[in-house]
Amino acid sequence: MSISKSLIQKLLASAGVRENGSQAEDILVNDSRFYRRVLSRGTLGAGESYMEGWWDCEDIDVLVSKMQDSGAKKWLGLSPFFLLRFLKNLTENRAIAKNYEIGEVHYDVGNLLFEKMLGPTMAYSCGYWKEAKSLDEAQVAKFDIICRKLDLKPGQKLLDIGCGWGSFLKYAIENCGVRGVGITVSKRQAEWASDSLKGLPAEIRVQDYNELNEKFDHIASVGMFEHVGHKNYKKFILKTPQMLNSGGKFLLHTIGKEEFAPSVDPWISKYIFPNSEIPIKKDVKRAIQSCYNVWDWQEFGKYYDLTLMRWYENFERAWPELMAEYAQKVSGRFYRMWRFYLLSSAGIFRAGKLKLWQILLSKDNKPPAYQKIR
């Protein structure tokens, strides 16, 4: 037995996972190159070797959750390749230099994929499952709680930074009577959103937040802050109060983590969300305190596991249609990439390693009678 095979098997065993075992989270190794790839490239090698078909696992979400709980994932993150990438991230300001790359690489892959995966709401962020029984109900509940936290009123002007396919903006306009502007760095998202909001008092733009120079009554940013980069947190946060009218509030909805850990997973950064970075709580607080008062800070990361598993079920069910639609673009490698992305992400949230925050901010002091909205 090779040294790399022995080490990887011991690592799996520490998480209660076996090679060729009977549990759904056990792995089946199809190519012996898997061991060396994972040993040398850590989590990046694990994802790449799965895409290549070098190993299989029925329940990747359970596998990843177990690896996270055991601490094995932390060990995998210490590969030489990962450390070099981490050091590079500390010195590079990639997010500001390549703000539109995320749109081209991920969101512009095709609206049909997202329509099938996300469902009618077209919401690509964590749903609010407190009382919801389905994905659609959870996403509508998320829209509703954001509107109530911002206390939207008829006639007010709302900015949605990173509006995606415009679903939250559409809900706010139809249910609260506001006017809206949504910005995205994806041309395909902007086209879909413009069609969806046709006839409503809304404008959808392909625009970066740095290019904005106008006033709004309230601002929301849902699932976009992860693409800003730690070197730009303060710049992003400082930009928003300049655009708020007196009494305006800003709701920031973002994935985050409590303590320092090296950036985002290298496989996610390379294949799914280029230039992305998970915010650390102390960095967010530091950026906020220079210009805002915090009215509310809610955490519901446990709901992202549910959301991701529903997306995966939708994706799996629609794959035959997607494969036919994108026959010239996709392959089995594409399918395995999306499967690994959705299930491994669910496993990380299930283990509680990542959080989901909704942060309500205002330039005004919080009134004594303010009650948190849940």
Residue 73 has what pLDDT?
55
**CA-based nearest residue to 25, from 80, 85, 70:** 70
Residue 85 has what pLDDT?
44
* Structure-block tokens of residue 12: 């799996």
Cite the beta strand spans of 200-335 per DSSP E: 202-206, 216-222, 244-256, 293-299
pLDDT tens-place string over residues 127-151: 999 999 999 999 999 999 999 999 9
Residue 97 has what pLDDT?
47
The type of residue at 60 is: I
Percentage of the residues of the chain whose pLDDT score is greater than 90 = 74
Residue 332 has what pLDDT?
76
pLDDT tens-place string over residues 184-193: 999 999 999 9
What are the backbone angles phi and psi of residue 98, rounded to the nearest 5°? -130, 50
Contacts (Cβ under 8 Å, ≥6 apart) of 174: 200
Least confident of 61-65, 103-107, 350-354: 103-107
Is this model's pTM higher than 0.95 or not? no
Residue 134 has what pLDDT?
98
Least confident of 22-26, 38-42, 86-90, 145-149: 86-90
Percentage of the residues of the chain whose pLDDT score is greater than 70 = 88
Contacts (Cβ under 8 Å, ≥6 apart) of 252: 221, 225, 357, 358, 359, 361
Angle between helices 281-288 and 233-242 (to 10 degrees): 40
Domain boundaries, given as residue ranges, for the chain: 3-91, 99-362
Least confident of 79-83, 209-213, 224-228: 79-83
Chain-centroid distance of CA 169 in Å reads 19
Cite the beta strand spans of the chain per DSSP E: 27-29, 55-57, 157-161, 179-184, 202-206, 216-222, 244-256, 293-299, 355-362
Cα–Cα distances in Å, from 166 out to 65, 173, 183, 315?
Answer: 32, 11, 9, 21
Inter-residue contact 289 to 317 (CB < 8 Å): no
Residue 326 has what pLDDT?
75
**Number of Cβ atoms within 10 Å of the Cβ of 205:** 15
Is 176's pLDDT higher than 60?
A: yes
User: For the chain, how many residues are written?
Assistant: 374
pLDDT tens-place string over residues 221-239: 999 999 998 889 999 999 9
Residue 66 has what pLDDT?
94
Residue 24 has what pLDDT?
97
Is 19's pLDDT higher than 80?
A: yes
Confidence of residue 108 (pLDDT cuts 50, 70, 90): confident
Is 93's pLDDT higher than 80?
A: no
Is 36's pLDDT higher than 60?
A: yes
What are the backbone angles phi and psi of residue 335, rounded to the nearest 5°? -60, -45
Confidence of residue 290 (pLDDT cuts 50, 70, 90): confident
Least confident of 38-42, 50-54, 91-95: 91-95
pLDDT tens-place string over residues 318-352: 999 998 887 766 677 899 999 999 999 999 999 99
Cα distance between residue 31 and residue 46, in whole Å:
12
Inter-residue contact 328 to 219 (CB < 8 Å): no
Pick the CATH number of 99-362 from 3.10.20.90, 3.40.50.150, 3.40.50.10490, 3.30.56.10: 3.40.50.150
Residue 86 has what pLDDT?
40
Residue 3 has what pLDDT?
85
Mean of all residue pLDDT scores within the chain: 89
